[in-house]
Amino acid sequence: MEKVALKDSGYRLKKAKILHTKKMTANEKFFEIALRENSPLDHEPGQFIMVSLPGIGEVPISVCSSPVKRDSFDLCVRAVGKVTRSLHKLKAGDEIDIRGPYGKGFPIRILEGNDLLIIAGGLGIAPLRSLITYILDNRRDFGKVHILFGCKEPKEMLFGDELEDWNKRTDLHYACTVDRADPDWAGNVGVITTLIPGVDIDPIRTFAAVVGPPIMYNFVIKELLAKGIPENQILLSFERNMKCGNGKCGRCQIQNLYVCQDGPVFHYERIKNLSEAF
Amino acid sequence: MEDMQYVILKKERFNDFISRLSKMQKLIAPVSKGYNNFAFEEVSSGSDIALKYIPTVLPLKKFFMPQRETLLEFKMAKGADAEAVVELEPMTIFGAHTCDLAGIQCLNMVFSERPKDYNYLTRKNRITLIGLECNEYCDEYASCHLVNASFPGGGYDLFFTDLGDYFIVHVKTQIGDEIVDVTGFFEKADVSHMNDLERLRDHKRKVFSNEVPIESKKLPELFDKSFRARVWKDLDERCLACGNCTNVCPSCYCFDIRDELDLSLKNGVRFRIWDSCQLEPFARVAGGINFRKERSARQRHRYYRKFRYSVDRFSRFFCTGCGRCTRTCMAGISLKETLNELIKESEDRVWKKWL
């Protein structure tokens, strides 16, 4: 068997350098990363990349920064497996390899001019941060913006400084809740669905973007439909196991869709009847 | 080259042809591995080849998409770039049945779909395919007629049909034409040969019929109605989740990607390796949630990938009717039985509506 270099390989890696890291919670770490020669990643909000540590493995991670920032991009990584735990050990100056971006992100051109209701559960804030920061970078292109964020406990809250900033801004509405409060917590307590009825929206011109743990979707969607948001204006992003990112390896398949290529962002209307989706 | 070109090869020249072919490049053909067991292996003479054989244990995909294949080579040194590679071996495959040719057509469509998989496509372009017609059914497990794979439907360079004293050979591609020219054992087919071929095909049209009682074009509709069918529950209780059915399937291509370092821990490779949607961890995410936890859901997924999803995506069935999944299943799960059950259940539903 002869081995030949393959220029067009879909598995080719790009070298990238970690510029900055920050421990966010017990399980999540923030990375700011630049490609060689600071060439732009050219992603859409909601897309993901494959992050490689050669010798250890490769994992799909959502990009959590706005494409407006072109010299570098951000990742927020939860340590749950071999590769992500190894990633957590890296620091500024270390190199990683990436490929991508992959998949279909949030349909920015469709969202422009409309109101947005952004709902993030836990780590779901990471992919949504790419959308939120994009919106803030292009604030005039969008109507009213509501951000609802929920997590289990206050200590699991990601991007705390930015949440504070969003809370102070007058050009968007922000609310958050925790499932379980601690003694220092003065805000809302309860699951994220409790925040939805109180949001003042015009459902016909509102698009909802929802990312969170699988369990959250059914409950949140029920509330959004009760609010009167049409099914084709609810956007969801799915988490699945992925190995190739090219719609081949089969792991991320939901019936006839491949999350890595057809998603990860889907219109609810398109996937509502797929039994393996939720 | 004419669109339809037929030549003949007399049986007494077959061994010379095979010897000659094996000297041109590596030659693969079905060989006997004991009672009713066959495998595609390297051969050098015609006597090695089993001309009458039932589907081999593994289909041809093992040459097109090796069980394990290197994608990247890398050094652990800081700043070293990983190199993307493809593993290649030019070869000729002789004796592919129509079910296995259909399997390769399926894989071709999958790996040509954007984003294209150049590892597969580069390797595929180095493989010459010579088909061999099934004059009769191989055994009771086959369901090739149901999925339109019982007669030749392209996907080969040359196609052999055994007509007693000689083979009639359809020359389909430039590469096939070159083999005919270079080996020099072939003669032009005349009307009598064409009539012999037509007689065989007539005979086949009588012998081959849909192996389960449904029109092929109704299969997608049957599956549309069958997502919650009882039979999936039945398979849940019987399936051992071993993954044999997908390993032996000519059109199953799911894979895992893994890294491995050599003993010096300085060099490594990233490779892909056959995986199976029937195995428990396949659709499990890092957080522990499994989107196809039940065996019923995994078996159903396998069937839908063969008869429903592929129709949307590639306008064809991905079942080639070879019968391998049934032959290999330790729990006796039979594709034909499952389809029969689905048909029965769907008919029951119609009756219930009337009563």
We report the CATH number of the domain holding residue A113 as 3.40.50.80
Residues B51 and B19 in one domain: yes
In a domain, A254, yes or no: no
Residues B223 and B187 in one domain: no
Angle, helix B230-238 to helix B335-354, in steps of 10 degrees: 150
State the first-to-last Cα distance of chain A, in angstroms, to the nearest integer. 44
In the block, which residue shows the tokens 């993901």? A48
**In chain A, what residues touch B26 (CB-CB under 8 Å)?**
none
Spans of chain A below 50 pLDDT: none
In a domain, B93, yes or no: yes
Q: How many domains does chain A have?
A: 2
Last residue of a domain, one of B207, B238, B266: B207
Last residue of a domain, one of B141, B176, B207: B207
Contact assignment for A80 to B287 by CB distance below 8 Å: yes
Minimal C-alpha gap between A62 and chain B (Å): 14
Residue A206 lies in domain = 108-237
Q: Touching check for B24 and chain A: CB below 8 Å?
A: no
In a domain, B78, yes or no: no
Mean pLDDT of chain B: 95
Preferred mutation among B61, B117, B256, B276 to probe A, highest tally of A CBs within 10 A: B117
Closest CA to B100 of B61, B128, B49: B61
Predicted local distance difference test score (pLDDT) of residue B2: 46
Residues A95 and A114 in one domain: no
User: Where do the H-state alpha helices sit in B215-334?
Assistant: 219-224, 230-238, 244-247, 295-307, 309-314, 324-328
- B287 band by pLDDT with thresholds 50, 70 and 90: confident
Q: Torsions phi, psi of A203, nearest 5?
A: -60, -30
Distance between CA atoms of residues B32 and B102, nearest Å:
22
Q: How many domains does chain B have?
A: 2
Mean pLDDT on B327-333: 97
Residues A145 and A94 in one domain: no
Contact assignment for A249 to B254 by CB distance below 8 Å: yes
A264 secondary structure, DSSP code: B
Predicted local distance difference test score (pLDDT) of residue B4: 58
Query: Comparing A179 with B353, which gets the higher pLDDT?
Result: A179
Residues A130 and A208 in one domain: yes
- If DSSP codes are grouped into helix, strand and coil, which group holds residue A263? coil
Minimal C-alpha gap between A264 and chain B (Å): 14
Closest CA to A63 of A3, A131, A155: A131
**In chain A, what residues touch B232 (CB-CB under 8 Å)?**
none
In a domain, B268, yes or no: yes
Report whether B183 contacts B149 (CB < 8 A): no
Element (H, E) at A20: strand A14-23
In a domain, A56, yes or no: yes
Rounded to 5, what percent of chain A is helix, strand, coil? 30, 30, 40
Contact assignment for B117 to A10 by CB distance below 8 Å: yes
Residue B266 lies in domain = 216-354
Residues A21 and A91 in one domain: yes
Residue B1 has pLDDT above 60, yes or no: no
Residues B338 and B223 in one domain: yes
Interface of B with A in 77-136 (CB under 8 A): 78-79, 81-89, 110-111, 113, 115-119, 122
Predicted local distance difference test score (pLDDT) of residue A38: 87
Residues B195 and B222 in one domain: no
Residue of A nearest to B70 (CA): A3
Q: What is the pLDDT of residues B102-129, one digit of tens each?
A: 999 999 999 999 999 999 999 999 999 9
Residues B157 and B227 in one domain: no
In the block, which residue shows the tokens 């299943």? B329
In a domain, B184, yes or no: yes
In a domain, B147, yes or no: yes
- B349 band by pLDDT with thresholds 50, 70 and 90: confident
Q: Is B141 exposed, middle or buried (0-12, 13-18, 19+ CB in 10 A)?
A: buried
Q: Is B330 exposed, middle or buried (0-12, 13-18, 19+ CB in 10 A)?
A: exposed
Residues B220 and B198 in one domain: no
CB atoms within 10 A of CB A175: 18
Q: Torsions phi, psi of B119, nearest 5?
A: -60, -50
Q: Which of A3, A80, A247 sits opposite B70 (nearest CB)?
A: A3
Q: CB-hemisphere CA count at 13 Å for B85?
A: 19
Q: What is the pLDDT of residues B259-275, one digit of tens each?
A: 999 999 999 999 999 99
Q: Which of A6, A240, A241 sits opposite B84 (nearest CB)?
A: A6
Preferred mutation among B25, B121, B257, B265 to probe A, highest tally of A CBs within 10 A: B257
Residues B60 and B190 in one domain: yes
